[in-house]
Amino acid sequence: MLTLHGVTVRYGRFDALTAVDWSVGTGEATVTALLGPSGCGKSTLLRAVAGLEPVAEGSIAWDGQPLDGVAPHRRDFGVVFQDGQLFPGRTVRQNIAYGLARRGIRGTQARDRVDEMLRLVRLDGYGDRAPAALSGGQAQRVALARALAPRPRLLLLDEPLAAVDSQLREELAEGIGEIVREAGTPTVLVTHDHREAALMADTVSVMRAGRIVQTDAASRLWHRPVDAETAEFLGARAVIGGTLHRGVLTTAMGEVALTDETTFGTLPDGPCRVALRPEALVADVDPDGDGVVEHAAALVSSWRVRLRVGDAVYDGVSSQPVTPGTRVRPRLDAGALAVIG
Ligand SMILES: Nc1ncnc2c1ncn2[C@@H]1O[C@H](COP(=O)(O)OP(=O)(O)OP(=O)(O)O)[C@@H](O)[C@H]1O
């Protein structure tokens, strides 16, 4: 298990990480996403764990053994960066075999391991290609195979899909999640994209300004963000007040039962703040409704709307065709809203 205690990393007088306490379990092959906005310190944290960035204060340990002074290649961690960084002059096979010789794995044993890795990343038959003859997605899968070949005890992925075009990204995100679980290697994934974190990770740690502000199961994070800033980072567009009583939330947009304990946990009675993603606010067409559509855009199977309710304007969705001026009755969808704190 990886544990960080009070880890601070400085660039000159700037603290890129401030007293970070964090741990990544290895009980089962889990994927932990390190999610946060650009510049919050995600890569710095990953690089510190990999031994590529000096730690000014605090300690990083594996199974209780401090890693201070342990060189990156002796940490037994696999690393994949944004653009894979394959060796251009070597074939796919030679790239994947790279870390094996150093571990004393040679000859047929090495060949078998490379074949196994090619199958794992669904690239059988690509072994003799040059990296230049691969697509961006294929190159990232080779980089993943190279990192996994020596059986590292932890895999570190730094925005592995950043250089892949958006159409492929979702497919590859799911693929990589499957591959690392199949390989049985605990993995840390750095990303600024909450969709990518949701597709790949079991546990998500949210970072902001050099600190980890929340660590939770992915499903729980979306419904119980620790503060409004985290909710906004996860896609919330508005925060409204409400009152909870025995799992029923009452707001200006009506009542909704939040009784699914696996997502919401036990909610305390009393006033609360509710974060709304557009999907959480459903506008039903109703001539007597107290909302008015100001803007509507047709999506594949719904309408994305901006609606005015009293003095406030919200982003919502509608399953019926609406145009500016349509009167609607807003209601909340429990499956898409979040209770803050
Ligand atoms: N070598 C460096 N020297 C000085 N400042 C640095 C250095 N590397 C990073 N920083 C600063 O440290 C902060 C954290 O950087 P880091 O790369 O860890 O962020 P990040 O969350 O990974 O961002 P991104 O998603 O944009 O890659 C940023 O403000 C960055 O400008």
- Location of structure tokens 């294929």: 138
Claim to verify: residue 33 and residue 127 sit in the same structural domain: yes
For the domain that residue 241 is a member of, what is the CATH number? 2.40.50.140
Query: Residue 187 in contact with residue 136, Cβ under 8 Å?
Result: no
Q: What is the residue range of 20's domain?
A: 2-222
Using DSSP bridges, classify how beta strands 238-245 and 270-276 pair: parallel, antiparallel or unpaired: antiparallel
Closest C-alpha residue for ligand 1 atom 24: 38
Ligand 1 centre and the CA of 17: distance in Å? 10
Claim to verify: residue 152 and residue 13 sit in the same structural domain: yes
- pLDDT at position 304 is 96
* Main-chain dihedrals φ then ψ at residue 267, nearest 5 degrees: -95, 130
Ligand 1 atom with least separation from CA of 192 = 25
- pLDDT at position 13 is 93
Percent of the chain with pLDDT over 90: 72
Claim to verify: residue 217 and residue 105 sit in the same structural domain: yes
- Location of structure tokens 């000159």: 12
Claim to verify: residue 280 and residue 212 sit in the same structural domain: no
Closest C-alpha residue for ligand 1 atom 31: 39
- pLDDT at position 176 is 85
- pLDDT at position 330 is 95
Which residues are CB-contacts of 247 (< 8 A; sequence separation ≥ 6)? 257, 258, 259, 264, 267
CA gap 276, 173 in Å, rounded: 26
Claim to verify: residue 239 and residue 191 sit in the same structural domain: no
- Burial code (b: 16+ CB inside 10 Å, e: under 16) for 308-340 equals ebeeeebbbbbeeebeeebbbbbbbeeebbbbb
Q: What is the pTM of this model?
A: 0.89
Q: What is the pLDDT of residues 144-179, one digit of tens each?
A: 999 999 999 999 999 988 877 777 788 788 888 888
For the domain that residue 10 is a member of, what is the CATH number? 3.40.50.300
Claim to verify: residue 158 and residue 234 sit in the same structural domain: no
Alpha-carbon distances of 286 from 125, 282, 291, 320, rounded to whole Å: 59, 12, 9, 11
Q: How many domains does the chain have?
A: 2
Percent of the chain with pLDDT over 70: 99
Ligand 1 atom with least separation from CA of 36 = 21
Ligand 1 centre and the CA of 95: distance in Å? 29
- pLDDT at position 27 is 63
Ligand 1 atom with least separation from CA of 11 = 4
Q: What residues line ligand 1, using a CB cutoff of 6 Å? A: 11, 16, 36, 38-44, 192
Claim to verify: residue 103 and residue 10 sit in the same structural domain: yes
Claim to verify: residue 73 and residue 193 sit in the same structural domain: yes
Ligand 1 atom with least separation from CA of 46 = 18
The single-letter DSSP state of residue 15 is E
Domain C-terminal end among 222, 248, 276: 222
Angle at 237 between CA 233 and CA 243, to 5 degrees: 105
Which residues are CB-contacts of 215 (< 8 A; sequence separation ≥ 6)? 22, 203, 204, 205, 206
Ligand 1 centre and the CA of 233: distance in Å? 18
- pLDDT at position 26 is 64
Closest C-alpha residue for ligand 1 atom 6: 11
Positions of the chain with pLDDT lower than 70, given as ranges: 26-29
